[in-house]
Amino acid sequence: MSPAPLAAYPALRLRRLRQADWIRRMVRESVLTPADLIWSMVVHEGDGEVPVASMPGVSRLSVKECAKAAVEARKLGIPAIAIFPHIDGSKKDALGSQAADPNGVIANAIKAMKDAAPEVGIMCDVALDPFTDHGHDGVIENGKIANDPTIERLVEQGLIQAQAGCDILAPSDMMDGRCAALRTALEGAGLQDTMIMSYAAKFASAFYGPYRDAIGSGKLGTGGAPIDKKTYQMDSANTEEALREVALDIAEGADMVMVKPGMPYLDIVSRVVETFQMPTFAFQVSGEYAMIMAAAQNGWIDEERAILESLGAFKRAGAAGVITYFAPRAAKMLGA
Ligand code: PBG
């Protein structure tokens, strides 16, 4: 559709529609509501809360506190929570064996949250990195991240999560073929209602820094392991490849797709929405959270305005929703 012809100034004065709050609200093109938010949350094995130094306002929560948070999410109208595990360093190994522990912290958190607030959706990362001592998302063979052996482990992990009651599996590792393997395994196990939101276009990014702190991730590059994740996560310069990644995951059975990080990749969000018309989510990652909080704490930006403006940007770009550490605060600001 071609746009209507524009009158010329002074017949056309675009500022007329900005002169008061009521008219700005009336012509607003996109709206952010609590239903657009997926609350990103870190769960740990111990008791109580442990603040994450690089993410002021974010703490690792115990299983019990996650259950309380689920009740809060329900009250705030936040539809879903994405949980990420912090496990003790002594439990990590090269294969990430604890990832498929049916009595591990993730399975326990899912059950506790579902007991407390069954109306709130639970999403889990399917990835090995919180469980490997080398911090990579895959099994290492001959110094390389091995694709297919990693997928076998992801399938075990995903099934454990789904059996514990997880609603949405979110494979976040960027191995090739993992959505198809998960879908087949879910169908085979009678878990056909379990959804998949794939981290379809996930870029190798500096903005995940504080997350590694939050989950106590192994230090990349130790013991001869690769120093970064660039052989599996995408090159930040690429758009066409991002579209191929998304196409592949949709063809493999992903129900929803995600672009990550968020704000520096809004162009990718917009292209994915336009190209595939699939429910497309964006992840406002730990580094984006930390940047806003750091600037706000220095008095350099207005914290609340920056939070809502950053989240609204995802809606404007066409996203169906945002995974964010700001979810409860933003929902309250939105009047929930
Ligand atoms: C694990 C994973 C990461 C994040 C979510 N899942 C880190 C990574 O891929 O290195 C990042 C989340 C954030 O920064 O908030 N695969």
Q: Strand runs (DSSP E) across the chain, as ranges?
A: 37-44, 50-51, 59-61, 80-86, 121-126, 139-141, 144-146, 168-171, 195-202, 256-260, 280-284, 321-324
- pLDDT tens-place string over residues 130-181: 999 999 999 999 999 999 999 999 999 999 999 999 999 999 999 999 999 9
Structural element, H or E, at residue 212? helix 209-215
336 burial via Cβ count (<10 Å: 0-12, 13-18, 19+): middle
* Residue 326 Cβ < 6 Å to ligand 1: no
* Residue 288 Cβ < 6 Å to ligand 1: no
Residue 41's SS3 state is strand
* Residue 249 Cβ < 6 Å to ligand 1: no
* Residue 281 Cβ < 6 Å to ligand 1: no
Q: Atom 5 of ligand 1 has which residue's CA nearest to it?
A: 172
CATH entry 3.60.150.10 includes domain 32-333: no
Q: How far apart are CA 61 and CA 270, in angstroms?
A: 34
Expressed in angstroms and rounded, the spacing between residue 137 Cα and the centre of ligand 1 is: 10
Q: Is the separation of the CB atoms in 137 and 229 below 8 Å?
A: yes
Catalytic residue ranges: 202, 260
- Tell whether the model's pLDDT for residue 218 goes beyond 80: no
Q: What's residue 4's pLDDT?
A: 82
The fraction of the chain above a pLDDT of 70, given in percent, is 100
Site to probe by mutation for ligand 1, drawn from 58, 134, 208, 288 as the one with most ligand atoms within 8 Å of Cβ, is 208
* Residue 129 Cβ < 6 Å to ligand 1: yes
Helix 147-164, helix 178-188: angle, nearest 10:
40
Q: How far apart are CA 160 and CA 97, in angstroms?
A: 13
Both structure tokens of 296:
């706000």
Of ligand 1's atoms, which has the minimum distance to the CA of residue 40? Answer: 15
Q: What's residue 328's pLDDT?
A: 98
* Residue 125 Cβ < 6 Å to ligand 1: yes
Expressed in angstroms and rounded, the spacing between residue 186 Cα and the centre of ligand 1 is: 24
Domain ranges of the chain: 32-333
For residue 223, the one-letter residue type is G
DSSP 6: P
- pLDDT tens-place string over residues 25-81: 999 999 999 999 999 999 999 999 999 999 999 999 999 999 999 999 999 999 999
Expressed in angstroms and rounded, the spacing between residue 322 Cα and the centre of ligand 1 is: 15
Q: Atom 14 of ligand 1 has which residue's CA nearest to it?
A: 208
Q: What's residue 275's pLDDT?
A: 98
Q: What's residue 223's pLDDT?
A: 81
Expressed in angstroms and rounded, the spacing between residue 93 Cα and the centre of ligand 1 is: 19
Q: Atom 2 of ligand 1 has which residue's CA nearest to it?
A: 172
Q: What's residue 2's pLDDT?
A: 78
The pTM is what?
0.97
* Residue 208 Cβ < 6 Å to ligand 1: yes
Expressed in angstroms and rounded, the spacing between residue 211 Cα and the centre of ligand 1 is: 6
Both structure tokens of 97:
């064996």
Q: How far apart are CA 322 and CA 283, in angstroms?
A: 6
Average pLDDT score, the chain: 97
DSSP 44: E
- Tell whether the model's pLDDT for residue 1 goes beyond 70: no
Q: How far apart are CA 78 and CA 228, in angstroms?
A: 34
- Tell whether the model's pLDDT for residue 248 goes beyond 80: yes
Both structure tokens of 57:
């306002």
Q: Distance of CA 130 to CAs 98, 105, 260, 267, 277, Å? A: 9, 11, 18, 29, 32
Site to probe by mutation for ligand 1, drawn from 55, 84, 281, 289 as the one with most ligand atoms within 8 Å of Cβ, is 84
Tally Cβ neighbours within 10 Å of residue 202: 26
Site to probe by mutation for ligand 1, drawn from 87, 106, 129, 323 as the one with most ligand atoms within 8 Å of Cβ, is 129
- Tell whether the model's pLDDT for residue 20 goes beyond 90: yes
* Residue 285 Cβ < 6 Å to ligand 1: yes
Q: Atom 11 of ligand 1 has which residue's CA nearest to it?
A: 208
- The string over 133-157, giving b where at least 16 C-beta atoms fall within 10 Å of a residue's C-beta and e elsewhere, is bbbbbbbbeeeebebeebbebbbbb
